[in-house]
Amino acid sequence: MLPPVPQTHPVGATAADHGVRLQVRDVSVSFQVKGRARTVLSDVSCDIATGEIVGIVGRSGTGKTTLLNLLGAILRPTSGEILLDGQIFDRPTNKVITVFQDYGQALLPWRTVRCNVSLGIERRLDKATVAERVARALAMTQLEAHVDDLPWQLSGGMQQRVQIARAMVMEPEVLLLDEPFGALDAMTRATLQDDLLRLQREAGFTVVFITHDVDEAVYLADRVLVLGGSPAAVVREVRAGLPRERNQLDTRESPEFVTARRVLADELGGGAQ
């Protein structure tokens, strides 16, 4: 018998113990498709607390990436507003950095690991500061032995570490990840999941990530938002109640993990989408 269903909350009711970092207020997004308006998201509202790790799941085509792009100010809403630290957020900032899924295309193949990581800061900071930040980011992502390698010389997992290091060097307050580990094998994915949790504990940034993997959503997130409907809205929030200190074996066997996974799988119609 499964234990009780994990705690769920009304949309927008988050554990803002350390204040709210991002706020989504009645946001809708429409695109023109063949001359006709198509609404992808409708009246989406939610708060994301400082230092929180939030997962976003939903069936394919529900607008997960659209919502992530809104949170990064890569896209502006058709109506409603996004707030960052209580202020209207409608243009990209170094406070909010996105790590994309396609690491192979995101890295410049002619630049070494060190030069790829320094790309975002090398023209706006002095050389000593750049060197210090790059060294720290490489150490945090365990890339010190590969500083002079080119991307094509690295495995997929190592290339994704370079992307994460390039984000870390910006010293972001919010890290957005679009299916960051979806293209990796299971062992590499598990390692990078734990790396992300470790980096978040060390740096304290807020994390919002998209995944098609229900297990990954429960393992990484403090809270999971489920997008559903057409046009899509946040139809459920699930909090498993897992401790921040997690490991791949014990955590995944815990009653809290198993129950949260069941709830999300049922919500999505049988599993990851």
Q: Are 113 and 149 in contact (CB under 8 A)?
A: yes
Q: Is residue 37 part of a domain?
A: yes
From 144, 171, 198, give the residue that closes a domain: 171
pLDDT at residue 262, as a whole number? 95
Tell me how many domains the chain contains: 2
pLDDT at residue 35, as a whole number? 80
Give the number of other CB atoms < 10 A from CB of residue 155: 11
pLDDT digits (tens, 9 = 90+) for 47-68: 999 999 999 999 988 999 999 9
> What is the pLDDT of the chain when averaged over all its residues?
89
Q: Is residue 104 part of a domain?
A: yes
pLDDT digits (tens, 9 = 90+) for 158-201: 999 999 999 999 999 999 999 988 888 899 999 999 999 999 99
Q: Is residue 7 part of a domain?
A: no
From 106, 140, 171, give the residue that closes a domain: 171
3-class secondary structure for the chain? CCCCCCEECCCCCCCCCCCEEEEEEEEEEEEEECCEEEEEEEEEEEEEECCCEEEEEECCCCCHHHHHHHHCCCCCCCEEEEEECCEECCCCCCCEEEECCCHHHHCCCCCCHHHHHCCCCCCCCCHHHHHHHHHHHHHHCCCHHHCCCCHHHCCHHHHHHHHHHHHHCCCCCEEEEECCCCCCCHHHHHHHHHHHHHHHHHHCCEEEEECCCHHHHHHHCCEEEEEECCCEEEEEEEECCCCCCCCCCHHHHCHHHHHHHHHHHHHHCCCCC
Do both 196 and 214 map to the same domain? yes
270 pLDDT tier (thresholds 50, 70, 90)? low
pLDDT digits (tens, 9 = 90+) for 247-268: 999 999 999 999 999 999 999 9
Q: Is the dihedral of CA 193, 197, 199, 205 positive or negative?
A: positive
Q: Is residue 111 part of a domain?
A: yes
User: In terms of residue numbers, what domain contains 225?
Assistant: 14-87+189-273
Do both 267 and 209 map to the same domain? yes
User: According to the per-residue pLDDT averaged within each range, which of 15-19, 52-56, 238-242 is highest?
Assistant: 52-56
Q: Is residue 182 part of a domain?
A: no
Global confidence as pTM: 0.88
**pLDDT of 210 above 90:** yes
Assign residue 36 the CATH number of its domain. Answer: 3.40.50.300
Residue 126 CA to residue 35 CA, distance in Å, equals 49
Do both 125 and 248 map to the same domain? no
Mean pLDDT confidence for 141-164: 93
Do both 167 and 199 map to the same domain? no
Give the bridge partners for 236, in sequence order. 226
pLDDT at residue 249, as a whole number? 94
From 142, 171, 200, give the residue that closes a domain: 171
Q: Is residue 247 part of a domain?
A: yes
Do both 164 and 194 map to the same domain? no
Do both 227 and 258 map to the same domain? yes
Q: Are 237 and 217 in contact (CB under 8 A)?
A: no
Q: Is residue 180 part of a domain?
A: no
pLDDT at residue 247, as a whole number? 93
Q: Is residue 3 part of a domain?
A: no
**pLDDT of 139 above 80:** yes
pLDDT digits (tens, 9 = 90+) for 214-228: 999 999 999 999 999
